[in-house]
Chain A
Amino acid sequence: MSRIAARFEQLRDRGRTALIPFVTAGDPSAAVTVPLMHAMVAAGVDLIELGVPFSDPIADGPVIQRATERALAQGVSLDDVLDMVRQFREQDTETPVILMGYLNPIEVMGYETFAVAAHGAGLDGALIVDVPPEEGHTLVEMLKTQGLDLVYLLAPTSTESRIARIGAVASGFVYYVSVKGVTGAGNLDTAAVAEKVGLIKSLIRLPVGVGFGINNPETAASVARVADAVIVGSAIVSRIEALAATPELIPEAVAEFLTGLRQAIDEVDAHVA
């Protein structure tokens, strides 16, 4: 069983909803990322999504675009991101880590080289934003051979047949994009999310995470009522941006924000239990 599957099984047994943070690797500098990952685990996150910087992030809003530009200005590459995962694994062998990014850096590295290097670094999976199942066959095979999960997105525009199709190829969990829009959009409609997540759960057996537009404890709590995982990105990245000039303060500030989200989610979990 993959580290991701094991983690979700544990969480289900304990009646706990996962909290998944996203940060762009190397933002604002490469030295910040690994200590930040440990601080987030200490604050109670269950899985980490590490963004791989790409020059043309079409699915991202301004906050993550700027994070990407900060990381690229430091020259952070896919190799560097895998190195960060390797360093993280020196101290933490339990928290699953997935990469989130765009295909081209992997395309240039080569699918097989990437899969082997990712496995070697202790990575657990990847979510490649611009790879729908129609284009993912070869990548899935390469990752599977190395025991890595390929996490797929689902969207408000995904039809029932698409949801079922994605369920057949996804592994680890699926990531429901709660709004039509880019990362950091702030207009999440919790009733609509609940309805769509219900539909997804009736068609797919994997855990369902929900992200895009979750930026405070209240929204996190309302999503926790319907999803298996609450995914938060831009709200964290904007805190990192505010402290870019004093990076030593970043881990603690992010941990404090995540602790607030964790408490809100725990209250929902206790109530449901």
Chain B
Amino acid sequence: MSTSPDHLGLAGFDSAGAPHASSGAYNWPDAGGHFGPYGGMFVPETLMHPLEELRTAYERYMADPQFQAELDADLQDYVGRPSPLYHAERWSRELGGAQIFLKREDLNHTGAHKVNNTIGQALLARRMGKTRIIAETGAGQHGVASATVAARLGLECVVYMGEVDIARQEANVYRMRLLGARVVSVTSGSRTLKDALNEAMRDWVTNIDNTFYIIGTVAGPHPYPAMVRDFQAVIGREARAQMLARSGRLPDALVACVGGGSNAIGLFYPFIGDEGVAIYGVEAAGDGLQTGRHAAPLCAGRPGVLHGNRTYLMEDNHGQIVETHSISAGLDYPGVGPEHAWLKDSGRARYDSVTDDEALRAFHHLTRTEGIIPALESSHALAYVHKLAPTMRKDQTIIVNLSGRGDKDMHTVASHDGLVL
């Protein structure tokens, strides 16, 4: 597989003025939303001006002390930030290597990191005078986080969700409805997350005047990957300060699971310039990369264009997007945020994958060892730590993003164990 710029027809790509990741000062994306050859704005013309308006508003409010104060207050009093950095001593001792610290995003309101982003985007929507928000969701976590902030701000909320996902995530569907959102079943294509995203884009293009589209991950056209990253970067800023306060130095390694990649980039971003900090992203290998039944585009896909940006994708030889598989619905997506594609190619981050079975073992292990039930998504990161920690010294440290809690996964885990709840 060739990933050279020539293969992509990128000879004319203009990255002048954008510093290289390897040169120290990391300043991606460029003005057009590119992370090296990735990212960009691959959307129909109807969306170009609205995206420009969004970018302008976002840049304006990110520099507005009043907006920032409102966001910070909400993150503290409504979400419950800062989330703790917990030293998993028993687990660390058992693995016999590095000291493991869990960044407890599972303790946020609504049970995952997703709300950091929906709070930010909903405040932006209100500032822009939009009265209606739409969102796509796979497992339902981003849908719940969107419905939650919509209820609080009194905004109309429509959530697009694949028919297949609706069937396997009933509890979250009910939760969204309780919060007042309309959940629309998407029956096109593979009837999962990618199709929900397609349908949300179609809604947005049709209702552009009054509607704000809250994308749930660091994908989509510019400015979404950068904007969602900036809202999630609170995770890494806190973790960095917490680790410095506790040990007087930076961690040796960061680990996070990567579906679209928003919890991962949120943890990684504030550390990108810290060259001594190793960064590991963990994709879902499903039944195993060799089976083809997985959701690991960075590890086993190739670059292409989907949902408004160029990134690594799971596709066939004709450029059709293929169906993915993971036990974790939140990682079950054929693309990945373009900044991860760039961090991979530039060598700043390393991406690996763990299988469904490895993630399940880590799920049970953390639950029994530390009394914390992790989300299946986060369990992928934990499974990687299981391999990584023993290779490190006891005086070294790892921060792993515990991006969500596992309550939503009770049915999945039980049925895997042959039980019906």
What residues make up the interface of A, taking CB atoms closer than 8 Å to B? Answer: 53-62, 65, 69, 72, 77-79, 102-112, 129-132, 134-135, 137-139, 141-142, 152-159, 162, 166, 177, 180-182, 185
Residues of B close to A155: CB separation below 8 A: 44-46, 48-49
Distance in angstroms from B312 CB to nearest chain A CB is 12
Given known pairs A69-B189, A72-B320, A105-B320, the reply for A157 and B7 (CB within 8 Å) is no
Digitize B197-222: 1 where CB-to-A-CB distance is under 8 Å, 0 elsewhere: 01001100111110000000000000
Closest to A58 in B: B201
**Cβ–Cβ contact A58 & B45, under 8 A:** no
Other-chain residue from B43, B189, B194 in contact with A132 (beta carbon distance below 8 A): B43
Q: Would you call B152 an interface residue if the criterion is a C-beta within 8 Å of the partner chain's C-beta atoms?
A: no
Within the complex, which residue of A56, A108, A138 is in contact with B11, where a contact is CB–CB below 8 Å? A138
In the complex the two chains form, what is the Cα distance from A85 to B7 in whole Å?
Answer: 25
Contact B44 A129 (CB under 8 A): yes
| A132 nearest CB neighbor, chain B only | B48
Residue contact B319 to A104, C-beta cutoff 8 Å: yes
* Nearest chain B residue, comparing its CB with the CB of A174: B45
Is A134 a contact of B44 with CB atoms below 8 Å?
A: no
> Which residue on chain B has the smallest CB distance to residue A61?
B202
Q: Are A138 and B9 in contact (CB under 8 A)?
A: yes
With the chains together, A59 CA to B204 CA distance in Å? 11
Interface contact A55-B48, CB-CB below 8 Å:
no
Residues of A near B315 (CB, < 8 A) are 104, 108
Given A55-B321, A103-B305, A130-B305, A157:B42 Cβ within 8 A? no
Q: Which of B258-302 contact A (CB under 8 A)?
A: none
For the complex, is B371 an interface residue (Cβ under 8 Å from A)? no
A56 touches B306 (CB 8 A): yes
Is residue B84 within 8 Å, beta carbon to beta carbon, of the partner chain? no
Q: How many residues of B contact A (CB 8 A)?
A: 46
Specify the main secondary structure of chain B where it touches its partner.
mixed
Q: Is the CB of A58 within 8 A of B202?
A: yes
A157 near B12: Cβ-Cβ < 8 Å: no
Q: Given A153-B45, A154-B45, A181-B206, are A141 and B12 neighbors across the interface (CB < 8 Å)?
A: yes
Give the residue among B9, B198, B205, B310 with the most A Cβ atoms within 10 A: B9
Give chain A residues whose Cβ lies under 8 Å from the Cβ of B205.
58-59, 180-182
Q: Are B317 and A108 in contact (CB under 8 A)?
A: yes
A139 to B9, Cβ gap below 8 A? yes
Query: Can you list 6 A-B pairs with a CB-CB distance of less than 8 A?
Result: A56-B306, A69-B188, A79-B318, A132-B41, A139-B9, A180-B207
Is B25 positioned at the interface, with any CB of A under 8 Å from its CB? no
What are the 10 tightest A-B residue pairs by CB atom distance, in nearest-first order? A111-B9, A105-B319, A108-B319, A155-B46, A77-B318, A153-B45, A181-B206, A104-B319, A55-B320, A157-B49
In the assembled complex, how far is the CB of residue A259 from the closest CB belonging to chain B, in whole angstroms? 31
Q: Which of A57, A104, A152 has the most CB of B within 10 A?
A: A104
Q: Are B304 and A107 in contact (CB under 8 A)?
A: yes
Known: A107-B304, A159-B49. A135 touches B319 (CB 8 A): no
The answer to whether B45 and A132 have CB atoms under 8 Å apart is yes
Verify A142–B40 contact, CB threshold 8 A.
no
Whole-angstrom distance from the CB of A155 to the nearest CB of chain B? 4
* B19 CB within 8 Å of chain A: no
Give B302's nearest chain A residue, CB to CB: A108
Kindly state whether residue B307 has any CB partner on chain A within 8 Å: yes
User: In the complex the two chains form, what is the Cα distance from A177 to B49 in whole Å?
Assistant: 14
- Bound-complex Cα distance A154 to B18 (A): 30
- Assembly CA distance A249 to B111 (angstroms): 56
Q: Within the complex, which residue of A107, A156, A158 is in contact with B319, where a contact is CB–CB below 8 Å?
A: A107
Compute how far the CA of A112 lies from the CA of B12 in the bound complex, rounded to whole angstroms: 13
Q: Quick check: B202 and A182 within 8 Å, CB to CB?
A: yes
Residues on the A chain within 8 Å of B318, using CB: 77-79, 105, 108
Contacts of A57 in B (CB 8 A): 198
Do A130 and B42 touch (CB < 8 A)?
Answer: yes
Whether B180 sits at the interface, judged by CB under 8 Å, is: no
Bound Cα distance A108, B3 (Å)? 11
Nearest opposing residue in chain A for B320, CB measure: A55
Residues of A within 8 A of B43 (CB): 58, 130, 132
Cβ of B50 within 8 Å of any chain A Cβ, yes or no, is: yes
Asked whether B42 lies within 8 Å of A131 as measured between CB atoms, the reply is: yes
Contact of B45 among A109, A112, A142, A177 (CB under 8 A): A177
Contact B9 A153 (CB under 8 A): no
**Inter-subunit contact B321/A110 (CB<8 Å):** no
Distance in Å: Cβ of A164 to nearest Cβ of chain B: 14
